Amino acid sequence: MMTWTPALAVVLATAGVAAGQPGPSPPPAPEAPPAAGPAATLPSPPPPPPPPQIKATRPDEPRVEPGRPTELAFGIGVGYALPTSLQTPNTTSVRVRLASGLTFEPQLAIATSTDDTATTSTRQTELTLGSLVRYPLRVHHHVDLEAVGSASVSNRVIDPDGDNNNRTVTTAGLGYGVALAYWLTAHWSLSLTATNPLVAFSRTRQETGVGREMTTRTTTFGLVFDPQVALMIHLYD
């Protein structure tokens, strides 16, 4: 049996107070690491380049192969109108070639000549205008097969000594043909051309006196293949 004493009361009171005191606080929880920011955005790769544009060639447009002028070009040539001796060239021409291959070969003559003899003098005046046109039908490597057309008109006046005796000759014609052109380089072309008459018109007016004249007309039409051949070489710019 426990005997109540003042000392025991003090001990019990002290134990009760100690039991009422709060215990030690727990250690603070570790702080969570900061949330990672948004992922860095990488630049998008550039788009691929567009495919090269290839220009389609129309079926009716001849394809220009390397070794030929690709732009407007001018050519000057010399050669032979066959048959003839090959010792001396006897024909010349100037050609204007477009980028498509269409080529014009203009002809222009403005001339005046006088034929004097011991007793008479005759003067002649000539004006001629025409052109040869070439178009490539087929292009193969260095060789072009060309269709050829021609047109010309000419007026020639023959004026002998005396009055009212002039003679005027007017001619006009259309022709066709074919040609082969060999391109040595883009600046040198060797061509062989065969042309034929298709339509020919001629009018001769002869003065026979004061206010009098006699006129003769001739027209010829025919699909004739009796070619005049020319061999020429041209230098293009």
Looking at residue 158, which CATH number applies to its domain? Answer: 2.40.160
Q: Is 109 inside a domain boundary? A: yes
Return d(Cα 218, Cα 197) in angstroms, integer: 14
**Is 12 among the domain residues?**
no
39 falls within a domain = no
Find out whether 95 and 131 touch, Cβ atoms under 8 Å: no
| Residue 137 is assigned to a structural domain of this protein | yes
Residue 56 inside a domain? The answer is no
Domain count, the chain: 1
With respect to residue 2, please indicate whether it lies within any of the assigned structural domains: no
* pLDDT per position as a tens digit, 47-90: 777 776 655 555 555 555 568 999 999 999 999 999 988 888 99
> Residue 125 carries which side chain, given as an amino acid letter?
T
User: pLDDT tens digits for 175-200?
Assistant: 999 999 999 999 999 999 999 999 99
Burial class of residue 145 (count of CB atoms within 10 Å of its CB; 0-12, 13-18, 19+): middle
Of the listed ranges 31-45, 133-147, 186-200, 212-226, the least confidently predicted one is 31-45
Domain span at residue 90? 73-236
Query: Which 3-state string (H, E, C) describes 23-70?
Result: CCCCCCCCCCCCCCCCCCCCCCCCCCCCCCCCCCCCCCCCCCCCCCCC
Residue 228 domain-assigned (yes or no):
yes
* Residue 191 domain flag: yes
Please, what's the b/e burial string for 80-104 (b: 16 or more CB within 10 A of its CB; e: otherwise)? beeeeeeeeeeeebebebeeebebe
Query: What residues have CB less than 8 Å from 75, skipping those under 6 apart?
Result: 94, 95, 96, 97, 189, 234, 235, 236, 237
